[in-house]
Structure 1
């Protein structure tokens, strides 16, 4: 019985996680096709990429007061509907479907750390697996560049629904015994609001926001940065390489952090690799040096989100605090993250190249290092 429960739980972690990145990261390699098909400019593409982040901000605040079982089930349904409406209708539904997808992912982002803490004993290891699957999801999304040649833009935007349907079936055992109709205890809502008065929680929130800003800006614009000096195929291959390498950092970096008492050196390595990679994109157009930048980007893109989630889990005293801190960090944190793709695209439109945009991200990456080190000093919340 325990083995079956563990298997069902781990399948839920895997297939739900596969839905949390691919529908978003698929946009990056398809930017040119989307701009042409829907007649959008760079700023509008930045807004499209930031819509899920805005949803993360708004609905991450709501997730803790929802009945968890019903919320997870409904979130998967919303992703399925969003993928359909985004793919097969006009410009309005492109944006509307993206909002639905963002809503579903926002709820799952908040509740998955608590799901892991409640259903597994080895939190660090499962969180590392969770982070690795998120990177796999990011990598799968990049293949949209190749899929579009065979199934078109609409088919590519919709095909990720396969993971959502499988996740829905995997989660069905958790909605048995009339669990969808159970009411949420709202007496502890004041406790949730109380975490916003915690200074330590704000530091972790800043860390989450800055790493999300870096991640989603890289995912959205890195292929276009590479394409200014390379062919689209070469740029996509480099992006695939960095996403592939990110899978390993997504597993090993959070796992290392969970089992270590002093993570200062590890955090410095992760953040400095990010800063150095942006400098390379600013100063070099050599394909081999750009490949090196991809290897450097794979370290923070793969590992830093898992580090943030691991901090939320291990620095929370109980699962209830985990949900509250996860909600705060991901809601306010993703509001911070929305500035990345939009301002990056705005600076590109303003200057006609990526130089000012990359300098902006170097500043953001430096702030990320500061908040990472401050978060690491926190014991418990």
Structure 2
């Protein structure tokens, strides 16, 4: 018998009660008020997740769109400019490893709020820093906020939406892809509209951070306790039924290493594609404008597919087939660039856009490979920190091979060859097991 049924039965008058003396009606303590609060907090949390995801890439892609103007404005050498483009994955690896400790001490909601504040401050400070060193320091501040939020967003999804991991990861991934594409495509037109000053073109993206901070303030109050009331029953169930965190160190988990390798190899492919694909097309005779549009097509593919793939992944017992399908698209795309880069340019751009959607698949598997919120924190920090470290040499190696070979045959061969271990790691990471099973 449910609690509500018992309450209603207790208020029914018994047969011995005189009909002429009805019991005064007492207000029944129903769940209306808590339910309304829970609905409101759940919706606010969903908005917060979307806004956080929108803020995780504009600091990078907006700078890429104006890198030449920034170099001229700050009198930056080519070596420093190259360092600037390789800083993001390094910061993601270094600062992301601090997320579990901060999350345990402050709560994930508070750390995400701090991350959004760091992104906002970095974006506001760096255009007006007044020198290369200060510009790099402000960029590092924004990247630190991105790194912390990168690690904790799968944790937020797992903790507060345990029965909707695929849907919420898809929503988050789609918003991240949208923010990436929007900053890449709109930064130059926005800069022109603001008078052509690159400083304003970079600073304008801090407005997204201000919105995210405003939403995460109530969610993070009390170390995240406000957000956790969105589904108190689910939290209580999790506390009763979730097994303890594994005694096995995360560095000894085969599943964790498979996820880290898969994450790192897909990030390698994404950074290589974003950094070098336009040049591949231009060297094949495609105009600069068309090469830029082709890159935009590749990036935009992530918007709808980032919502579809996580939902599909959570409905499958193992996610290996998805990893294989995405890897096959990458192999065909790189083979096409090798054989006929200009003739099938649009097809290769589409296929590589599909292949780059291994990122939302990796995020989804992070949420699925642990039974507990604490386990997801550890797994997310390990997979992303190690993965971003793995991704650092790839774009540099491709550039070196291109410079020394004088063409794209060797770099494209390397790109295609890297898809094979990515597919293997995806199959291993997609097995139906958790890190608790290995403990």
Tell me the TM-score normalised to structure 2 length: 0.78
100-109 or 354-363: bigger deviation: 354-363
Match of 2:86 in 1: 50
Q: 1:8 aligns with which of 44, 69, 79?
A: 44
Q: 1:201 aligns with which of 256, 270, 281?
A: 256
Match of 1:147 in 2: 190
Match of 2:177 in 1: 135
1:250 pairs with 2:292: no
Q: 2:376 aligns with which of 319, 322, 325?
A: 322
Q: For the structure 1 residues 59 and 350, does the alpha-carbon distance in structure 2 shift closer, same or farther, using more than 3 Å as the test?
A: same
Match of 1:164 in 2: 209
45-54 or 110-119: bigger deviation: 45-54
Q: For the structure 1 residues 285 and 241, does the alpha-carbon distance in structure 2 shift closer, same or farther, using more than 3 Å as the test?
A: same
Stretches of structure 1 lacking an aligned partner (at least 5 in a row): 181-189
Match of 2:15 in 1: none
For 1:58-69, what aligned pairs fall within 5 Å after superposition? 58-66=94-102, 67=106, 68-69=108-109
RMSD of aligned C-alpha atoms?
2.5
Count how many residue pairs are aligned between Structure 1 and Structure 2.
370
For residues 40 and 344 of structure 1, what CA distance do their matches in structure 2 show? 23
Q: For the structure 1 residues 362 and 61, does the alpha-carbon distance in structure 2 shift closer, same or farther, using more than 3 Å as the test?
A: same
Stretches of structure 2 lacking an aligned partner (at least 5 in a row): 1-36, 226-244
Greater helix share, structure number: 1
In the TM superposition, residue 81 of structure 1 has moved relative to its aligned partner by: 2.1
In the TM superposition, residue 324 of structure 1 has moved relative to its aligned partner by: 0.4
For residues 49 and 399 of structure 2, what CA distance do their matches in structure 1 show? 34
252-261 or 277-286: bigger deviation: 277-286
For residues 282 and 253 of structure 2, what CA distance do their matches in structure 1 show? 44
Match of 2:391 in 1: 337
- Contact 1:28-1:223 within 8 A present in 2 as well: no
SS at match of 1:87: helix
Q: 2:134 aligns with which of 93, 102, 107?
A: 93
Q: Which has the larger radius of gyration?
A: 2
Which structure ranks higher in relative contact order (CA pairs < 8 Å, sequence separation ≥ 6)?
1
Match of 2:117 in 1: 77
Match of 1:233 in 2: 289
In the TM superposition, residue 47 of structure 1 has moved relative to its aligned partner by: 2.8
Q: For the structure 1 residues 80 and 294, does the alpha-carbon distance in structure 2 shift closer, same or farther, using more than 3 Å as the test?
A: same
In the TM superposition, residue 252 of structure 1 has moved relative to its aligned partner by: 1.0
For residues 192 and 166 of structure 1, what CA distance do their matches in structure 2 show? 40
| CA distances 1:298-335 after superposition (whole Å, capped 9, x unpaired) | 1122x211110111101111111000000000111111
SS at match of 1:230: coil
- Contact 2:317-2:432 within 8 A present in 1 as well: no
Match of 1:358 in 2: 412
Q: For the structure 1 residues 179 and 294, does the alpha-carbon distance in structure 2 shift closer, same or farther, using more than 3 Å as the test?
A: closer
In the TM superposition, residue 179 of structure 1 has moved relative to its aligned partner by: 6.3
In the TM superposition, residue 199 of structure 1 has moved relative to its aligned partner by: 2.2
| CA distances 1:151-191 after superposition (whole Å, capped 9, x unpaired) | 443222222211111100010112334769xxxxxxxxx97
